[in-house]
């Protein structure tokens, strides 16, 4: 009996010692691996993927490659723990600017879609969404009944009477995300607080392909805004076929807004940082 | 030589790990959403399978069989595979970052993949020689990669379709897997 235990223990010990030897012997040939490993040691190590990178090590790699990306450190587990944050700041030798960690909610709908039938059921967005995804022509539109108004603890949301679309007051919005959970159309998104250009269309291009005629102010995925941008602030998300904006590079030249024939893009915050259209739902119809 | 080919084809296609033996199913549905991920995963599984097959063969024939403790092979193989993956990962991470990035997160994740444990147990129960074990592991890995790549190709196309709401995502993937499995049963009469 005893030798069975001995075999198992022996194999386990041998493997442990081999790992130890490999750890000591194998040279670190890859450039900058020490720094990456140092950063990775601060990471929580649970590979949750919430930061958008495949695992903590990949995130450490991205941080090491681009020192500036420390500013958009998205790992909530690091940010919440003061010791880890301190360690990360020591590695980089700079204090973290956490200001753009803050998020604000945006209603991604211009309210241009026509009402195609009168809904007279239970007056909630959830009820209306049960019937052919709402009474508007576009199945991705804001229904404007106001489930989000009721759920907002700050009272930051109201329904614009002109467009019939929810509007969010950024002075009051804390970016808690409760309205995102409540909205059946998934038309509300959280964006960084420093967002300058708003993208006001929730139209999902990969479904219902023949849908362009459904709204005159819907994104037709023409890439004109991406091509017009000279500051390199717009990247084209091929998978979703929508533009993505980098507020730090944006110079507010407004070329993308001029280029957009569908008027999907709006200025959200101007050069002085003053809010122009906080809610992103603008009373301006093409019809 | 023909024996090697038989073993390879048998494990790659006829007794395919995913569709016929039903091993490694969680990674089959988890990683088959994107073609690039499927390639990385297939590559990593093949590599780990081959390394694990060699090392477990050595341990099986130098320790377990002489001491007459073959019944302990499951627990010992799990131990060996888990630490092997750690060693391989450590080595690749420090010497070749390009390769490490190609494997991505999937190398540590397959530490506990049952397809990898499966190949070592099959090798032990079939009494394969070391060369046969390597060929079997290669076949198993290639078969795994093929199915993962086919599935991810189909699922990328499925993204463009508009199935009923209750069928979106996993349900339609399950149906696809069923049809794929039926197709692979057609290989059953080959050998």
Q: Which of A49, A72, A98 is the last residue in one of the domains?
A: A98
Same domain flag for A158 and A198 = yes
Q: Which domain holds residue A45?
A: 33-98
pLDDT attached to residue A116:
83
* Distance of alpha carbon B123 from alpha carbon B120, whole angstroms: 5
Same domain flag for A115 and A75 = no
Q: Which residue has the higher pLDDT, A222 or A66?
A: A222
Is the distance from CB of A83 to CB of A91 less than 8 angstroms? no
Q: What is the pTM of this model?
A: 0.61
Q: Can you spell out the DSSP letters for A68-102?
A: GGGGG---HHHHH-HHHHHHHHHHHTS----GGG-
Instruction: Indicate whether A282 pLDDT > 70.
Output: no
pLDDT attached to residue A278:
43
Residues 14-73 of A with CB under 8 A from B: 15-16, 18-19, 22-23, 26-30, 33, 47, 54-55, 57-58, 61
Same domain flag for A120 and A143 = yes
3-state secondary structure labels for all residues of chain B: CHHHHHHHHHHHHHCCCCCCCCCCHHHHHHCCCCHHHHHHHHHHHHHHHHHHHHHHHHHHHHHHHHHCCHHHHHHHHHHHHHHHHHHHHHHHHHHCHHHHHHHCCHHHHHHHCHHHHHHHHHHHHHCCCHHHHHHHHHHHHHHHHHHHHHHHHHHHHHCCCCCCHHHCCHHHHHHHHHHHHHHHHHHHHCC
* Distance of alpha carbon B51 from alpha carbon B40, whole angstroms: 17
CATH number of the CATH domain containing A149: 3.30.70.20
Instruction: Indicate whether A123 pLDDT > 80.
Output: yes
Q: Which residue has the higher pLDDT, B132 or A260?
A: B132
Same domain flag for A64 and A190 = no
What residues of chain A lie within 8 A of the CB of B64, using their CB? 7
pLDDT attached to residue A287:
32
Place of tokens 């995130």: A59
Range from A214-223, A258-267, B112-121, B143-152 that averages highest in pLDDT: B143-152
pLDDT attached to residue A286:
36
A252 is a domain residue: yes
The mean pLDDT of B62-91, rounded to a whole number, is 88
The mean pLDDT of B110-131, rounded to a whole number, is 90
The region of weakest confidence among A194-203, A266-275, B146-155 is A266-275
Same domain flag for A234 and A129 = yes
Range from A33-47, A258-272, B128-142 that averages highest in pLDDT: B128-142
What residues of chain A lie within 8 A of the CB of B90, using their CB? 19, 22-23, 26
A234 is a domain residue: yes
ipTM value: 0.77
Q: Do B105 and A7 touch (CB under 8 A)?
A: no
| pLDDT tier, B33 (very low <50, low <70, confident <90, very high otherwise) | confident
Same domain flag for A87 and A118 = no
Domain range summary for chain B, segments of one domain joined by +: 34-145
* Distance of alpha carbon A11 from alpha carbon A14, whole angstroms: 5
Q: Do A206 and B159 touch (CB under 8 A)?
A: yes
Same domain flag for A94 and A106 = no
Same domain flag for A115 and A204 = yes
Same domain flag for A66 and A123 = no
Same domain flag for A116 and A231 = yes
pLDDT attached to residue A14:
92
Mean pLDDT for all residues in chain B? 88
Q: Which of A98, A127, A146 is the last residue in one of the domains?
A: A98
A142 is a domain residue: yes
Tell me the pLDDT tens digit for each residue of A157-195: 888 887 788 888 877 887 777 888 888 888 888 887 777
The mean pLDDT of B165-177, rounded to a whole number, is 88
A272 is a domain residue: no
Instruction: Indicate whether A101 pLDDT > 80.
Output: no
What residues of chain B lie within 8 A of the CB of A4, using their CB? 67, 69, 72
| pLDDT tier, A269 (very low <50, low <70, confident <90, very high otherwise) | low
> Count of domains in chain A?
2
CATH number of the CATH domain containing A69: 1.10.15
Same domain flag for A223 and A94 = no
pLDDT attached to residue A284:
41
Mean pLDDT for all residues in chain A? 77
A6 is a domain residue: no
Tell me the pLDDT tens digit for each residue of B39-71: 888 888 998 999 999 999 999 999 888 888 888
Same domain flag for A49 and A114 = no
Is A177 at the interface with chain B, CB within 8 A?
A: no
* Distance of alpha carbon A227 from alpha carbon A48, whole angstroms: 35
């Amino acid at each position: 009996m005893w030798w069975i235990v001995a075999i198992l223990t022996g194999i386990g010990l041998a493997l442990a010692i081999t790992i130890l030897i490999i750890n000591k012997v194998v040279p670190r040939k890859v450039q900058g691996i020490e720094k990456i490993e140092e950063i990775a040691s601060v990471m929580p190590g649970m590979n949750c993927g919430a930061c958008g990178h495949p695992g903590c090590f990949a995130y450490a790699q991205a941080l090491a490659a681009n020192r500036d990306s420390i500013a958009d450190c998205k790992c909530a587990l690091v940010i919440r723990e003061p010791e880890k944050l301190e360690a990360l700041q020591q590695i980089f030798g700079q204090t973290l600017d956490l200001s753009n960690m803050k998020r604000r909610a945006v209603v991604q709908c211009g309210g241009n879609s026509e009402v195609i039938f009168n809904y007279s059921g239970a007056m909630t967005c959830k009820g209306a969404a049960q019937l052919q995804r709402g009474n508007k022509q576009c199945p991705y539109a804001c229904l404007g009944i106001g489930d989000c108004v009721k759920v907002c603890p700050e009272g930051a949301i109201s329904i614009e009477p002109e467009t019939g679309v929810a509007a969010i007051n950024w002075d009051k919005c804390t970016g808690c995300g409760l309205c995102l959970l409540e909205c059946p159309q998934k038309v509300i998104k959280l964006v960084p607080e420093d967002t300058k250009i708003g993208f006001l269309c929730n139209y999902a291009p990969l479904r219902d392909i023949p849908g362009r005629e459904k709204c005159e102010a819907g994104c037709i995925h023409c890439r004109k805004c991406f091509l017009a941008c000279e500051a390199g602030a717009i990247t084209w998300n091929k998978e979703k076929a929508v533009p993505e904006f980098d507020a730090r590079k944006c110079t507010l030249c407004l070329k993308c807004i001029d280029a957009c024939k569908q008027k999907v893009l709006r200025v959200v915050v101007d050069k002085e940082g003053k809010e122009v259209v906080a809610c992103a739902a603008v009373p301006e119809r093409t019809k | 030589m023909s024996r090697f080919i038989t073993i390879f084809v048998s494990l790659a296609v006829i007794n395919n790990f995913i569709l016929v033996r039903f091993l490694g199913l969680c990674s089959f549905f988890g990683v088959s959403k994107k073609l690039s991920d499927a390639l990385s995963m297939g590559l990593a599984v093949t590599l780990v399978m081959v390394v694990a097959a060699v090392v477990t063969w050595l341990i099986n024939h130098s320790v377990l069989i002489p001491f007459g403790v073959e019944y302990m092979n499951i627990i010992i193989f799990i131990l060996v595979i888990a630490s092997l993956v750690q060693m391989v990962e450590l080595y690749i991470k420090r010497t070749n970052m390009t390769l490490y990035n190609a494997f991505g997160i999937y190398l540590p994740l397959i530490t506990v993949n049952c397809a990898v444990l499966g190949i070592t147990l099959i090798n032990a129960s079939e009494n394969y020689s070391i060369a046969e074990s390597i060929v079997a592991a290669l076949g198993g890995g290639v078969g795994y990669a093929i199915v993962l790549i086919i599935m991810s190709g189909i699922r990328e196309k499925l993204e463009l379709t508009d199935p009923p709401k209750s069928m979106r995502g996993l349900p339609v993937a399950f149906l696809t897997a069923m049809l794929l499995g039926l197709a692979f049963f057609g290989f059953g009469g080959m050998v």
